Amino acid sequence: GLKTGDKIPSERELSERLNFGRSSVREALRALELLGLIETRRGEGTFIRDFRGHQLVQLLSTFILQDQKAIRDVFETKNYIEMDCLHLALQKADNQEITKIKDWVEKAEHFSDDEFFQRIMELSDNHLFLRLWSILNEYYHSLEESHLTFKREYYLKLTIALAEKDLEKTLSAYKKLRNLSNSTDKY
């Protein structure tokens, strides 16, 4: 429940609350400080730093994404969240909202895959999916293999399928966009 600028409890208090030795708490605090997540001010205490824009995901991904299975899991989970959000968007979004995205895809000079799916996440109206997708998307972009580009026509086909409120067509268009085989056929 702590926010940027909040003071965190002392080593002694953390040690008692968490039932860990003071040396373990001190080591953890030192690691958090090295990551730039907290700062210690002499005579004042230790405070939560503003770490938005911090390269935390890239830093953590070097530890988390060390094996190929973990990397595949990120891709797979991100894809499933996107498909689930497309499914929710079909249920929740009205025609006007979908038409707005379709017009944007047709008329925007440039747009990114992230911008497109950010809009889909908003249509799905599921804040948790949006947060999970954002985190996975940052991991995805921290990987060297993630520099893919997609053709506008694939996004257009996807928005047309959404506008028709056709789940099968929507998921088929998504799989073509992502170049997925039928291994994702949980639907």
What is the structure's pLDDT at 78?
A: 92
* Two tokens, residue 112: 């990114």
Q: For residue 56, count CB atoms less than 10 angstroms from its CB and return exposed for 0-12, middle for 13-18, buried for 19 or more.
A: middle
What's the rounded Cα separation, in Å, for the pair 106 and 52? 33
Q: ∠ CA(109), CA(118), CA(169), 5° rounding?
A: 85
- The residue assigned the tokens 């004042």 is 44
On average, the pLDDT of the chain sits at 84
What is the structure's pLDDT at 55?
A: 56
What is the structure's pLDDT at 187?
A: 45
Tens of pLDDT along 70-125?
778 888 989 999 999 999 999 999 999 999 999 999 999 888 999 999 999 999 99
pLDDT higher than 60, residue 133: yes
What is the structure's pLDDT at 58?
A: 57
Rg (CA), the chain: 21
What's the rounded Cα separation, in Å, for the pair 59 and 176? 32
Residue from 64, 38, 37 nearest 136 by CA: 64
Note if the pTM is more than 0.95: no
**Strands lying side by side in the sheet with 7-8:** 7-8, 45-48, 38-41
What's the rounded Cα separation, in Å, for the pair 117 and 173? 14
What is the structure's pLDDT at 22?
A: 92
